[in-house]
Structure 1
């Protein structure tokens, strides 16, 4: 069971947990004493008409009740603090673990499942820990204590209790065995609901554009119905077993009343002890009912703990070096040496024998059909994935020998899908360098051809962007993303089809600004439009994961058939030839 990680938090909070349990036990002891005090009031005070005795023990009952209430207040304060702190620590550690994951790890778990584990699964364990210090520990203590007190009160009558408890234990054991796999399936069903919701919200514009509401509604209805069905199955089990526990205990209470009544009639037992015995039976019933609820929650918490444990136990496929080599003074020369790569979920290489170099100040463009491996290739440079065979070097040092922080500090990426964060435009640009001045922000925005449209807003660079930059167009988001990369002043700049949403004139101005601003930067440019790559110092033509052509535009027009096909298909269809 993948729950060993919990010992870290148990050790961290065991003192506070022990304090909470101490006050819980004191509160429970007060509950256990009261039926005995009450029996003495009835048998020794009320029966004999001794009001002083009644008042004396009545005052004692009030004192015990007050002390129990005080213990309950302290216990509630401690339990709330410990459970919330534990939940926050667990959630943060899990988030940090996920942050360190490679793309392979994220692909393995899936985004929606990781979100469920960070939220619902952590909440299940947090709620269980909270309940442990409130009623979960109190239930067995109260139940066992009631049995002990009943035995001290009347050993023969307590045999009824000893007969009821094993029956209830068998019922609970069967419940545990049946329920566990069902509650595990509930969490997986919740993963699917989160996955559909996440995909819908991410693609809501496409859904609206194609009017696919019925399709999406049916998708959600299917996973939602699956979640409902499996949850109902779990609840039906709870609905069957809880009454069985109550039935067994209530039969015990009926036996106590029947046998106790007979003994009172013959003068072998006092009425007060019968009432105390019934109270203890009720406490046993309460304890067993809570224990059943505890075990149901334990099953869910156990399933959640194992799912979280899977994340903690997952080995990051991107392993840092113990003694990394520094590239602080490096120039940014990039070299691929016979690189092969395949995804873990695929047995086929998606990149084969990739071999090329890019020097500082040089622009290397990559072009090819969709699925040819262009984006996969650039994902290997910052080690989002690791090569299977071959080497990728920066300044003659294998990227696997460089610390991840230092490696990624040298690289700036403008992704194919521009992603902005909630906050101002200035905040988004300063993601590349949080210490940048306003002047630097404006400078890179001008190079990225973003300054003019930003200044058209009343708030300028302080305009607030919604999640994902929803109040900007695709081209505007791409230009902000380019500015964010430029302000980092990287040694290597990767542009993954990052001007696909801007017009050709704006793209030409951006390329001109990049060439002037990043004279010593190694630039890797991926593009679909051939006009975007024609001016590059070197062009790589990719097809089915291999480099099928390499050279300048003129060379490839003479020697590379794939490049010629791309050129003629685009230029021949009326695209602007910027060389004309």
Structure 2
């Protein structure tokens, strides 16, 4: 992967600012070179020739030099860092947008914390390089060229002696930079692992405390953190070795200059002013050389981070939309699953096998079966969270793979057992179903979902913040907000995945009432383990081993002595053992 051209593509839109910054750097470098140049007239003119007029002009010259240097240095730094921040902003926006359009399988295969590390930490590493390193790199290179010019003008022989060590500096700097790049990539990977563990343990704080495992998870974190520390210190050793090596080689060059140049002054072949002007230029020049070497290290670290970022940007979604995808019209007739077979991984067996099912518009369909038979997976195929390896799914005779994802998913609403709410207001969580909805429409959806009463009793009403994942709401309240969100979207097709599980009796009653409003006049698929919730549907689909074993009404399947009948009997015995009412079974 050629990283430099790809990084330059992000910098290219801001080339005018970079050009202006380079223009400013010429003035800064000229001021630095001039400060080395005036050493000769100061020594020879003022101190050797005792020129009083030159002495009076000297303070003004020094002030003028540093005034120009300061003004243009500020402008240069501001422009370059501005470009750096814009590049990082653009890169982070692009990466986040790309991740959002990847398939659900990608999110299942990659820990959330690791993805967060790519967006935050990896790009932060690039940010340091683009914002700070490039800022100094342009300036130091031009400064070094200017000071080298002064050195050659003063004494080209001395300059050749001083520059003999430059190939050694370049060789070892490049070698250390490559080593640092490899270490930096491993460091970023360790940080991603650490972030993933942090995210996992913070989300699971309730379970950790319930099992008194605070010390256990803390020790695991300490081990992970120690691995990160060790890898980081390898990078520190490689990075910090650069400056001593540069200074060592520079001292060899300076020693040679002092020896040869000193003899030239003693023999009267050159003046002290010329020699010290040269020495000033050389001493000032080794500082840019050291900074450029450090900048190379930072660039190598940034390239390691960039390779991880571009790896992610190059990841293609498994769910691809055709170039000539059509806008799917609203369902008018039916949904058909034709010989659908699906498996998650190529090494595993099929989760769904030869599924054939036809659902007419407006029907309420229940999918029942033991855990793991493929009920949720089958429903994940309808909005194309996954694509089947064999067979196809048709809406009004149109293969859903021929339709745009936006037009397909606009017709489908999902309410699941695992409610996802955002750390925002109640109003905005409901409005997530349709962003252009008015406040009146949001309120109407809340009323239909039986959420209105508890919303207006909240501290700030609809503007109440509900916390991370809706933690400030009860389970039933979160469920009703999710139903209100689906009502606001107003989709013709609805998927309810265990929507009333894990609720107490009162909450379930309120949620069931809300669901009745939600299901009215919609084609509805209900995934349920509790058979009491699906007695009144139009058809029940009983699944076993990834296949559809039975289709029928509650009464038909109960009399068939098949899969549904066995599930029914199992739940009946469980209810009897718990001493609960059996009226729902009769």
Range 184-193 or range 161-170, more displaced? 161-170
Equivalent-residue separation in structure 1 for 2:166 and 2:560 (angstroms): 87
Alignment of 1:40-189 (within 5 A): 40-189=41-190
Task: State how many pairs are aligned.
Answer: 580
Range 2-11 or range 76-85, more displaced? 2-11
Specify the SS of the correspondent of 1:316. Answer: coil
CA deviation after TM superposition for structure 1 residue 301, in Å: 0.9
Tell me what 1:380 maps to: 381
CA deviation after TM superposition for structure 1 residue 291, in Å: 1.6
Equivalent-residue separation in structure 2 for 1:314 and 1:264 (angstroms): 66
Alignment of 1:114-513 (within 5 A): 114-331=115-332, 333-344=334-345, 346-504=347-505, 506-507=507-508, 510-511=511-512
TM-score (norm 1): 0.94
- Seen in structure 2, the aligned counterparts of structure 1 residues 306 and 133 have a Cα distance that, compared at 3 Å, is closer
- Residues 1:37 and 2:15 aligned together: no
CA deviation after TM superposition for structure 1 residue 482, in Å: 1.5
Specify the SS of the correspondent of 1:337. Answer: strand
CA contact (8 A) 1:146 1:283 kept: yes
CA deviation after TM superposition for structure 1 residue 506, in Å: 4.8
Equivalent-residue separation in structure 2 for 1:330 and 1:241 (angstroms): 67
Equivalent-residue separation in structure 2 for 1:124 and 1:142 (angstroms): 26
CA contact (8 A) 1:17 1:79 kept: yes
Residues 73-111 of structure 1, C-alpha deviations (whole Å, 9 max, x = no match): 211221232122221111111111111111123344442
Equivalent-residue separation in structure 1 for 2:207 and 2:333 (angstroms): 39
Specify the SS of the correspondent of 1:464. Answer: coil
Specify the SS of the correspondent of 1:487. Answer: helix
- Seen in structure 2, the aligned counterparts of structure 1 residues 95 and 89 have a Cα distance that, compared at 3 Å, is same
Equivalent-residue separation in structure 1 for 2:239 and 2:465 (angstroms): 49
Specify the SS of the correspondent of 2:10. Answer: helix
Range 507-516 or range 63-72, more displaced? 507-516
Specify the SS of the correspondent of 1:414. Answer: strand
CA deviation after TM superposition for structure 1 residue 183, in Å: 0.7
Equivalent-residue separation in structure 2 for 1:351 and 1:235 (angstroms): 52
CA contact (8 A) 1:186 1:227 kept: yes
Range 341-350 or range 73-82, more displaced? 341-350
- Seen in structure 2, the aligned counterparts of structure 1 residues 177 and 300 have a Cα distance that, compared at 3 Å, is closer
Range 407-416 or range 273-282, more displaced? 273-282
Equivalent-residue separation in structure 2 for 1:115 and 1:341 (angstroms): 30
CA contact (8 A) 1:447 1:510 kept: no
**Cα RMSD after superposing both structures:** 2.2
CA contact (8 A) 1:364 1:536 kept: yes
Specify the SS of the correspondent of 1:137. Answer: helix
Tell me what 1:567 maps to: 568
Residues 397-416 of structure 1, C-alpha deviations (whole Å, 9 max, x = no match): 11111111111111111133
Equivalent-residue separation in structure 2 for 1:569 and 1:81 (angstroms): 67
CA deviation after TM superposition for structure 1 residue 543, in Å: 2.8
CA deviation after TM superposition for structure 1 residue 547, in Å: 2.1
CA deviation after TM superposition for structure 1 residue 186, in Å: 0.6
CA deviation after TM superposition for structure 1 residue 500, in Å: 0.8
Specify the SS of the correspondent of 2:571. Answer: helix
CA deviation after TM superposition for structure 1 residue 233, in Å: 0.8
CA contact (8 A) 2:11 2:83 kept: no
Residues 125-161 of structure 1, C-alpha deviations (whole Å, 9 max, x = no match): 2221222552112223323332332122111211222
Range 138-147 or range 150-159, more displaced? 138-147
Residues 317-348 of structure 1, C-alpha deviations (whole Å, 9 max, x = no match): 22112222333343373221111122246432
Residues 360-404 of structure 1, C-alpha deviations (whole Å, 9 max, x = no match): 221111122222222222111111122211111122211111111
Specify the SS of the correspondent of 2:355. Answer: strand
Equivalent-residue separation in structure 2 for 1:139 and 1:513 (angstroms): 68
Specify the SS of the correspondent of 1:465. Answer: coil
Specify the SS of the correspondent of 1:559. Answer: coil
- Seen in structure 2, the aligned counterparts of structure 1 residues 516 and 224 have a Cα distance that, compared at 3 Å, is closer
Equivalent-residue separation in structure 1 for 2:478 and 2:510 (angstroms): 17
Tell me what 2:26 maps to: 25
CA deviation after TM superposition for structure 1 residue 198, in Å: 0.8
CA contact (8 A) 1:447 1:513 kept: yes
Equivalent-residue separation in structure 1 for 2:382 and 2:351 (angstroms): 15
Specify the SS of the correspondent of 2:489. Answer: coil
Equivalent-residue separation in structure 2 for 1:439 and 1:70 (angstroms): 56
Equivalent-residue separation in structure 1 for 2:85 and 2:453 (angstroms): 48
CA contact (8 A) 2:88 2:123 kept: yes
CA deviation after TM superposition for structure 1 residue 356, in Å: 1.1
Residues 172-200 of structure 1, C-alpha deviations (whole Å, 9 max, x = no match): 12202322211110111111011001111
Structure 1 unaligned blocks of 5 or more: none
Equivalent-residue separation in structure 1 for 2:518 and 2:202 (angstroms): 38
Tell me what 1:549 maps to: 550
CA contact (8 A) 2:500 2:512 kept: no
Residues 409-448 of structure 1, C-alpha deviations (whole Å, 9 max, x = no match): 1111113310111222222112112344555444443443
